[in-house]
């Protein structure tokens, strides 16, 4: 099978190529990535020579048409992905996440190929802390930020193309990922790399916000399971029952890195900050044999910390740029 992986030089996409290459050696991979600030070509070092890499944008209709025609399936990770940046400058989110998805599904439809569209639980808005219900495939979309609105828009386009044009597509909405090769602008790597540079973790507001953490390899294994065992036209929610509030995540990182429990600071909250995400993944578990292999966030975080300790060259330059942006935003 020839697989076109959009956004394959980013966090989840690069981990997908590395993981899928290992467990499905018969698949052939092409990465299409425009190499924004969020990309890092060295993330693909473990598969260099085995994977074709094309620098270009999912918003480029001619390039997308040519590449889609030459592959069997598109696994669509490419996106502008950071909420704080979407509040600062929404346009790249509209362009890549909505227009880029439109260009891909049009090409997939023209050439009668298949697409697996990667999305996020953030499209569903947020939950109260004591809500007994979690997000499911039946939850209505209700996004809060420009980022999540752009992802919800893309999801709706894919669903409409399935219904109106018989597009061969599956969708997945996953909870917050952590693991190696995540950009240092994101919550967990920001704190780990900060501590390694002697800077205290920064907690938005009171830190009661809950995220449902999943190891990136568990996300990607679920994507492979959906590609192979999922039903065309269906949406699957991916989560590993990893709910933790941000205060507790920082406490765990501090403990694992040998720092005092109170060695962090509160900074200004994110405007419109979603309170809680939580995923009910029973449909995925009922229809595929996927089960998370890394259900223990503590040991997954310890491995992630070890990766950032050993890979300073991977993150140092990106961190300088990310922290300059945070400085301007007052966070």
Residue numbers of the site for ligand NAD (CB under 6 A)?
6-7, 9-13, 32-36, 38-39, 57-59, 77-81, 96, 100, 118, 120, 151, 174, 176-177, 183
Q: Is 121 a catalytic residue?
A: yes
CB of 2 to ligand TDX, least distance (A): 27
Residue nearest to ligand TDX according to CB distances in the complex: 120
In angstroms, how far is CA 114 from the centroid of its own chain? 20
| 281 to 133, 278, 299: CA distances (angstroms) | 12, 10, 22
d(CA 157, CA 150) in angstroms, rounded, equals 11
CB of 314 to ligand TDX, least distance (A): 18
Q: Which does 204 bind (CB under 5 to 8 A by kind): ligand NAD, ligand TDX, none?
A: ligand TDX
Binding-site partner at residue 83 among ligand NAD, ligand TDX, none, CB < 5 to 8 Å by type: ligand TDX
Nearer to ligand NAD, 218 or 257 (CB): 218
**3-class secondary-structure state, position 227:** helix
By DSSP bridging, strand 243-245 and strand 210-212 are: antiparallel
Min separation Cβ 15 and ligand NAD, Å: 8
Q: What is the three-state SS of 292-322?
A: CCCCCHHHHHHHHHHHHHHCHHHHHHHHHHH
Distance between CA 25 and CA 18 in Å, rounded? 10
Q: Is 122 a catalytic residue?
A: yes
- Distance of CA 162 to CAs 158, 169, 253, 301, Å? 6, 7, 43, 38
**Given the rule CB under 6 A, which residues bind ligand TDX?**
81-83, 120, 122, 176, 186-187, 190, 202-204, 209, 211, 246, 270
DSSP 94-143: IIIIIIIHHHHHHHHHHTT-EEEEEEEGGGG----TT-S--B-TTSPP--
Gyration radius (Cα) of the chain, Å: 19
The catalytically annotated residue of 33, 84, 121, 212 is 121
| Longest Cα separation, the chain | 58
d(CA 83, CA 180): 20
From 102, 124, 147, 308, the catalytic residue: 147
Structural contact between residues 292 and 240, judged by C-beta atoms closer than 8 angstroms: yes
- Name which of 60 and 269 has its Cβ closer to ligand TDX: 269
Distance, CA of 2 to CA of 305 (rounded, Å): 34
Cβ-based neighbours of 310, under 8 Å, separated by 6 or more:
none
Q: Which entry of 122, 155, 243, 274 is annotated as an active-site residue?
A: 122
Q: What angle do CA 305, 310, 312 make, to 5 degrees?
A: 95
Q: What does 190 interact with, of ligand NAD, ligand TDX, none (CB < 5 to 8 A by kind)?
A: ligand TDX
For ligand NAD, the closer of residues 62 and 265 by Cβ is 62
Q: In whole angstroms, how close is the CB of 32 to ligand NAD at the nearest point?
A: 6
Least Å distance, CB 61 to ligand NAD, is: 12
246 binding partner (options ligand TDX, ligand NAD, none; Cβ < 5 to 8 Å by kind): ligand TDX
Q: Between 159 and 259, whose beta carbon lies closer to ligand NAD? A: 159
- Return the one option of ligand NAD, ligand TDX, none that residue 96 interacts with (CB less than 5 to 8 A, by type): ligand NAD
Binding at 187: pick from ligand TDX, ligand NAD, none (beta carbon under 5-8 Å per type): ligand TDX
Which residue lies nearer to ligand TDX by CB, 104 or 123?
A: 123
CB of 119 to ligand NAD, least distance (A): 6
**Residue number, 83 or 153, with CB nearest to ligand TDX:** 83
Show which residues are catalytic. Answer: 121-122, 147
């Amino acid at each position: 099978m020839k697989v076109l992986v959009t956004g394959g030089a980013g966090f989840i996409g690069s981990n997908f190529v590395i993981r899928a290459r290992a467990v499905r050696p018969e698949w052939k991979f092409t990465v299409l990535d425009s190499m924004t600030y969020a990309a890092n070509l060295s993330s693909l070092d473990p598969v260099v020579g085995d994977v074709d890499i094309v620098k270009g944008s999912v918003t480029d209709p001619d390039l997308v048409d040519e590449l889609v025609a030459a592959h069997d399936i598109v696994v669509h990770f490419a996106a502008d992905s950071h909420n704080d940046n979407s509040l600062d400058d929404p346009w790249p989110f509209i362009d890549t996440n909505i227009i880029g998805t439109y260009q891909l599904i049009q090409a997939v439809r023209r050439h009668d190929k298949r697409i697996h569209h990667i999305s996020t639980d953030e499209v569903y808005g947020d939950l109260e802390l004591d809500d007994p219900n979690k997000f499911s495939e039946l939850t209505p979309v209700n996004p809060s930020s420009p980022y999540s609105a752009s992802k919800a828009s893309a999801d709706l386009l894919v669903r409409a193309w399935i219904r109106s044009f018989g597009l061969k597509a599956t969708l997945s909405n996953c909870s917050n990922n952590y693991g190696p090769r995540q950009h240092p602008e994101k919550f967990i790597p920001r704190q780990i790399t900060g501590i390694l540079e002697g800077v205290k973790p920064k907690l938005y507001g009171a830190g009661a916000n809950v995220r449902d953490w999943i190891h990136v390899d568990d996300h990607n294994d679920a994507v492979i399971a959906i590609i192979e065992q999922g039903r065309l036209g269906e949406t699957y929610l991916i989560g590993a029952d990893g709910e933790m509030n941000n205060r507790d995540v920082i406490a765990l990182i501090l403990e694992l890195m040998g720092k005092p429990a109170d060695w962090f600071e509160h900074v200004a909250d994110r405007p419109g900050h979603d309170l809680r995400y939580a995923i009910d993944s029973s449909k995925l578990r009922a229809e595929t044999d996927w089960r998370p292999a890394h259900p223990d966030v503590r040991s997954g975080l310890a491995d992630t910390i070890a990766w950032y300790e050993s890979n300073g060259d991977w993150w140092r330059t990106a961190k300088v740029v990310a922290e300059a942006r945070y400085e301007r935003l007052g966070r």
